[in-house]
């Protein structure tokens, strides 16, 4: 069972999503408790590869209310748990110009925090405009269909 905590809607607006992966996250005790309360943000976060390991940088996890002095640092770098071949494929693709790895969604699956990450290619300004036009046209069609029936 999957319970969504945070969705990075801006990622789908700014990037063409090519491939998605599910990654675990290495967390401290107070971090998972804060995530279960919904105190997390994926805005301005990204994935980086260092020495054959994947890390998420800039992800915010708010402090846990009852964490006292053992509370975690809010924006620390967190290690992602992926298979070696997945890390190898992603890190090689990122070296190609225009590709990046972005977080799409943070969710709880069977009590564990999982992160959906995507291999993505950046959109140009005109691509974003085109996406917005298509979205508006689709919305108009749905409204007209609703009013018609």
pLDDT given for residue 133 in this prediction: 87
Q: What is the pLDDT of residue 11?
A: 87
Give 147's pLDDT tier (boundaries 50, 70, 90).
Answer: confident
Q: How confident is the model at residue 129 (pLDDT cuts 50, 70, 90)?
A: confident
Does 114 map to a domain? Answer: yes
Backbone φ, ψ for residue 91 (5° rounding): -65, -35
Within-domain flag for 141? no
Q: Which pLDDT tens digit goes with each residue over 29-82?
A: 888 888 888 889 998 899 999 999 999 999 998 888 777 777 878 888 999 999
pLDDT of residue 28: 84
Burial class (CB in 10 A: 0-12, 13-18, 19+), 72: buried
Number of domains in the chain: 1
6 occurs within a structural domain: yes
Could you tell me if residue 137 is inside a domain?
no
What global pTM score does this model have? 0.79
Residues in Cβ contact with 58 at an 8 Å cutoff, skipping those fewer than 6 apart: 44, 45, 46, 75
- The boundaries of the domain holding residue 79 are 2-124
For residue 31, the model assigns a pLDDT of 86
- Is position 146 within any domain? no
In a domain, 144, yes or no: no
Q: Determine, yes or no, domain membership for 130.
A: no
Query: 71 lies in a domain?
Result: yes
pLDDT of residue 86: 94
CATH number of the domain residue 104 falls in: 2.40.280.10
């Amino acid at each position: 069972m999957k319970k969504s905590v945070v969705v990075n809607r801006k990622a789908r607006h700014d990037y063409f999503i090519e491939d998605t992966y599910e990654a675990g996250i290495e967390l401290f005790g107070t971090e998972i408790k804060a995530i279960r309360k919904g105190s997390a943000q994926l805005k301005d976060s990204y994935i980086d590869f260092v020495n054959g390991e994947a890390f998420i940088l800039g992800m915010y996890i708010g402090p846990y209310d009852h964490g006292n002095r053992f509370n975690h640092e809010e924006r620390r770098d967190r290690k992602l748990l992926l298979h070696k071949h997945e890390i190898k494929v992603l890190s090689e693709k990122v070296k190609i110009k225009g590709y990046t790895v972005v977080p799409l969604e943070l969710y709880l699956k069977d009590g564990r925090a999982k992160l959906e990450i995507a291999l993505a290619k950046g959109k140009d300004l005109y691509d974003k405009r085109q996406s917005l036009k298509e979205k508006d046209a689709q919305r108009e069609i749905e409204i007209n269909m609703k009013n018609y029936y």
